A = this chain, B = another copy of it.
Amino acid sequence: MRIVEIKESVVSIASEIKNAYIDFSKMTVSIVAIVTDVVKEGKPITGYGFHSNGRYAQSGLLNERFIPRLREAEPDSLLDDERENLDPFKIWNTLMQNEKPGGHGERSVAVGVIDMAIWDAVAKIEEKPLYKLLAERFTDQKALKETFVYGAGGYYYPGKNNEALVQEMRGYLEQGYKVVKMKIGGAPLAEDMKRIEAVLKELEAFIERGESAGRRLAVDANGRFDLDTARAYAREIEPLNLFWYEEAGDPLDYALQAELAGKYKPSFATGENLFSHQDVANLLRYSGLRPEKDYLQMDPALSYGLVEYLRMLEVLKQHGWSPSRCIPHGGHQFALHIAAGLGLGGNESYPGVFQPFGGFADHTPVHDSLIHLTDLPGVGFEAKSDLINLFYENFG
């Protein structure tokens, strides 16, 4: 058994949307196909990978370092000792040979793209959906058939007014999402509060008796605020008891997060811009986040893949955090399988943006913010027609 070919390409997900930190006018995504010599139904089993929005394509690093290392490796050195399959852990070590410690950015994306494709291939070779394979190998529980998802959007874009924002959110609610997320920090506080209030008013129509609309809305500052601004927003939104307040300050400013955590009662969420288990350990040690109510959003596609994500979960365990506090960033099927297979709290979903990478399998509607996983072998890209067609167009 061996990898016979590794293909790589770049696609654009350019759009006019903005968060508080960047615009997406030149956003790109790396995609890869890893072709094996295992033939099923007359075709070689191929694993596919990509990465989430917000970090750029990694053609350079893929072609300069990571794909050559995989190509040059002795094929037997990449095989599972216990099963007729590739070994994602040995492959990870091969990818990362002669890489210095620290500096966890960019290369974490390149490795994440390859790692996704490897797990897709491994699960296809084992003829199981990835979530079942993960539950069997790494937990003593049965995999869940369905997972919590929330509808993320609410970006800023030119000419977008509150009516357009409310309409967008209403669309997600009508699609079956109970929790939605919008951006903040791209406008002054007073204006953002009007945006939030407009959405909350719309949410009133969807909640059950006795429920508060705030529990259905998360807000995301994308790391934009200094401590004073972060506090000012915290004071204004605290009475609303929102689902979460995401990335108030710089993702590495654990001291700012700790200052906030001492004074804000509802939930925080952060972690999408931490790309290694070492960074996650620091977050849990220093940021004052509360294991009983806060959320962690590390995204395996951006942070060296599932192999590193398993190390992050080990760090969580050491610090008394449950995997159920994790709701990864990225809105991709890979994290959906990881969520269902390893008992995470759920997954992000982009019903309206970053297509064809946002969203999950076709014909898996969202009900009560829960989505069913497909039982196709692998990650199930073949059940998401726009995405698999993009892979076929690029890689044949």
Contact = CB atoms under 8 A, between A and B. Distances in A.
A18 to B, nearest CB: 9
The size class of the interface chain A forms with chain B is 35 or more
A11 to B, nearest CB: 13
A126 interface: no
A193 interface: no
Interface stretch (A59-67, A79-87, A136-144): A59-67
A276 B279 CA distance: 14
Contacts of A255: 281, 285
Interface string A37-67: 0000000000000000011111111011100
A387 interface: no
Contacts of A253: 278, 281
Interface stretch (A101-109, A159-167, A340-348): A101-109
Interface string A237-281: 000000000000011111100000000000000000111101101
A393 interface: no
Interface in A84-116: 97-108
Contacts of A281: 252-253, 255
Nearest to A98: B22
A286 interface: yes
A24 B128 CA distance: 41
A23 interface: yes
Interface in A113-138: none
A26 interface: yes
A25 interface: yes
A64 B57 contact: yes
A98 B18 CA distance: 10
Contacts of A55: 100, 103
Given A102-B223, A103-B105, A105-B107, 12 more contacts: A22-B97, A23-B98, A57-B64, A60-B60, A101-B273, A103-B104, A104-B105, A104-B252, A106-B107, A250-B278, A252-B279, A286-B286
